[in-house]
Amino acid sequence: MDTPQPLQVGGGRASIGDVAPKLAELTDDVLFADVWNRPGLAARDRSLITVAALVAGGDAAQLRFHLGRAVENGVTKTELIEAITHLAFYAGWPKAMTAIAVAKEVLA
């Protein structure tokens, strides 16, 4: 990768550290500090893949965070809406409709 990547930082300790300290540690130290910062994929691509996986899984709560992260990582709002529209045919119409409602709220 030729261009420097924005450092990906998790918020596990801040959001759930008091309830689930080990999950928070794994979120921050493994998922974000390690996996998200590996050089094999750009942060932008990781974000788009993550959004697609969350839409396909129907994970609206996590999608809220990752739509914002995707924009921070250079995915445009138009690209996110197009990805969700495309996923309607592969992940299911109800999941895409839920994701679009979340996107409408988050990306407004």
Shared domain for 56 and 106, answered yes or no, is yes
Considering only CA atoms, give the Rg of the chain: 14
Residue 17's pLDDT band (boundaries 50, 70, 90)? Answer: confident
pTM for the full predicted model: 0.88
For residues 34 and 52, state if they share a domain.
no
Q: Which helix (H) or strand (E) holds 89?
A: none
| Domain containing residue 3 | 1-40
Write the pLDDT tens digit of every residue in 32-70: 889 998 999 999 999 999 999 999 999 999 999 999 999
| One domain, residues 32 and 59 | no
Backbone φ, ψ for residue 107 (5° rounding): -90, 5
Residues 92 and 50 grouped into a single domain: yes
Q: How many domains does the chain have?
A: 2
Round to whole Å and give the CA distance between 36 and 39.
Answer: 9
